Amino acid sequence: MQATRPSLERPIRELPKRTIWTTAFIVVAVLGSVAGWMSPPVHVSHVESVLRRTAATAATAPKPNAVVATRSTSAAKSQVLAAAKRPPRPSLPAQTLPAALSNFVVQCGTSLCLRGVPFVIKGATGYGTYDDPDGEIQLAQAGNINTIELSEFDTQYHVLSDAMSEATWTRVDRFIAASAQAHMHVILNLSEYGQSLQAAGQIPETVDWGPYLAFIANRTNSVTGVPYKDDPTIAMVELFGEICYPGETDSSCPAGTSGTAEQMAEFFHRSLDEWHAAAPNILVSSGGFSHLNGSTTIPWQQIMADPLNSTCDMEINSPNDVSDSVAKVTSLCQSIGKPWFLAAWSSCYDSTSYPFFTATDNDMAAHAGDMYSLAAGGDPAAYPAVGSSFWNLQDTGTSTGTCNLSPSFPATWATIQHG
């Protein structure tokens, strides 16, 4: 039962002096900053899926309906790493205004908030739809989706020179502008930059992402005129989801391009710090981790506990992720008072390559319901997530193996609408 609110009708002279001074300070702060939080001409009501890896090589563009089973990690000893070289900040950078007045999505305890009210991400990736933002947004609205995750959005697949091209970012500009107009949010998933570095033979964790992150933060949207760092349409940035575990070598992780555990921890700390410096009002996270079930060489505890990491992000791509990863990730993050985000899940039609085999629309709907239930705090999650994002929102019919969800799968679509 909620406590009765105290009366606000007492004469001011009866209020304690400290209350009067606090009230005066807040009034001055709000008046002095009002231009900053009212200025964006487009705004929105705000907000990730990390790409599902395909069996294609880095030189071949992936098919939207191809999803490769989560790779098992090598049995490796548990690691306790030293803290990253840069000393962590004592807390996340403060918002310019109190959370109750901010148009940006902010962290509030183990939740996210928008203008002082809890905000739950009901998300989906928009892969394959970036040239038709209006059509994708209409589909999202029909599914009661409030956040579209932009993942694999470069115009050339894993070509490093395209990562900061005008062709790529003009397309992203249009999608963000259309989302703002529709009062929706976007998540920018930057995993493709890491994969483009790998395709070029580099180790992403040893590259300073600062110039790339600054390029994004300081870019002015060519449609709206709003700098990305000042646009509350962007709910969050995810750095590098499904990062290769140390020593991994396969079609997605070319030999010699996977960093060590120490390099991985330092990379995330450095990059999180650089994003906060460039765009302090927009949340940033590591991106969703795979390979966390069983023994893993990914230093996920250290990365998730980093004060600069806004949310604990994980993916569910296999039954073992449910039985093992969910409990240990949510238990850790609950103990440190941090939100967790179900960064990716899929329901794929009659796909023999995806670990969750769902042969029919009803099977797909049941799996989608399980994912929404888990994100709501169902067993084995220790507490509710701040939301989830599925791969992928696109209407491509009912071809075998597709993971593109739409009204073409009526039972699954109904689950999405009510999830």
CATH number reported for the structural domain that contains residue 281 in this entry:
3.20.20.80
Distance CA 304, CA 292 (A): 12
Do the domain assignments include residue 282?
yes
pLDDT, tens digit, for every residue of 267-299? 999 999 999 999 999 999 999 999 898 889 999
Provide the residue count of the chain: 419
Do the domain assignments include residue 32?
no
Tell me, what amino acid is at 128? G
What separation in angstroms does the CA of 48 have from each of 76, 161, 189, 253, 357? Answer: 29, 24, 6, 21, 23
419 Cβ neighbours under 8 A, 6+ residues apart: 122, 368, 369, 371, 372
Phi and psi angles of residue 344, each rounded to the nearest 5 degrees, phi first = -165, 140
pLDDT, tens digit, for every residue of 105-125? 999 999 999 999 999 999 999
Where would I find the H helices in 209-307?
A: 210-218, 261-278, 300-305
Do the domain assignments include residue 284?
yes
Do the domain assignments include residue 263?
yes
Q: Are 258 and 206 in contact (CB under 8 A)?
A: no
Distance CA 336, CA 347 (A): 31
Distance CA 158, CA 176 (A): 22
pLDDT, tens digit, for every residue of 58-82? 333 333 343 333 333 333 333 333 3
Range of the domain at 223: 43-418
β pairing state of 283-285 and 234-238: parallel
pLDDT, tens digit, for every residue of 163-220? 999 999 999 999 999 999 999 999 999 999 999 999 999 999 999 999 999 999 999 9
Tokens 């994002």 belong to: 389
Give the strands of the sheet with 234-238, arranged side by side.
283-285, 234-238, 185-189, 147-150, 121-125, 387-390, 340-345, 312-315
Do the domain assignments include residue 84?
yes
| Beta strand spans in 227-327 (E) | 234-238, 283-285, 312-315
What pTM was computed for the model?
0.79
Domain count, the chain: 1
Do the domain assignments include residue 395?
yes
pLDDT, tens digit, for every residue of 342-356? 999 999 999 999 999
pLDDT, tens digit, for every residue of 220-252? 999 999 999 999 999 999 999 999 999 999 999
Do the domain assignments include residue 389?
yes
Do the domain assignments include residue 10?
no
